[in-house]
Amino acid sequence: MAIRDIIILPDTQLRLVSKPVEKITSEIRALADDMFETMYDAPGIGLAAIQVAQPLRLITMDLSKKEGEKNPRAFINPEIVSASEELSVYEEGCLSIPEYYEEVERPAKVRVRFMDLDGKIHEEDADGLYATCIQHEIDHLNGVLFVDYLSKLKRDRVMKKFTKAARLAAK
């Protein structure tokens, strides 16, 4: 296992649409292991493969609340099959947009279909933090960032801030 570099806004790779995982191989399992290690180190609760420069439809997530307790979950080729009309607002952040948080409105409940690392297909209902996180991470797989849900003014402001920081870091 290895901690991988997380790509940061304004990196254009974040706008790529990820490709489906065709087959669960030892490379896919190793990528998931690296993603868990990277996510825990960051620290974060969710990570999409594209955030470590791998344009594959793979997400890692751990929503366990207690210190020292872990509940790592991998989602391969996840998709939202239905969403509630009821909306909820959560303050979101993103490992690819460090130290920036903003309230985002999304469906309060979703039904998600995905494959696990053993190749089993699951369908689950998600609400609360789980619903928010799975939608946020699936958005990454489609080249969408949580800042895309903000007003144009806020989005432009954050893009300008991270573009400037990237320019300064490159010098």
**Rg of the chain taking only CA atoms, in angstroms:** 16
- CA–CA separation, 145 and 147 (whole Å): 5
Place of tokens 């990570």: 47
Phi-psi bin for 110: left (phi > 0), alpha (psi -120 to 50), beta?
beta
Provide the β-strand partners of residue 104. Answer: 90
The answer to whether the beta carbons of residues 18 and 57 sit under 8 Å apart is: yes
- Give the pLDDT of residue 136: 98
The answer to whether the beta carbons of residues 133 and 63 sit under 8 Å apart is: yes
The answer to whether the beta carbons of residues 117 and 74 sit under 8 Å apart is: yes
Q: 62-71: long-range contacts (C-beta < 8 A, 24 or more apart)?
A: 62/36, 63/129, 63/130, 63/133, 70/40
The answer to whether the beta carbons of residues 47 and 54 sit under 8 Å apart is: no
- Alpha helix ranges (H) inside the chain: 26-41, 128-141, 152-170
Residues that are catalytic: 137
- Give the pLDDT of residue 171: 79
How many CB atoms neighbour CB 33 within 10 A? 16
Per-residue pLDDT of the chain (171 residues; tens, 9 = 90+): 799 999 999 999 999 999 999 999 999 999 999 999 999 999 999 999 999 999 999 999 999 977 778 999 999 999 999 999 999 999 999 999 999 999 999 999 999 999 999 999 999 999 999 999 999 999 999 999 999 999 999 999 999 999 999 898 887
Output the pTM of the full model: 0.95
The class that CATH gives domain 12-170 is alpha beta
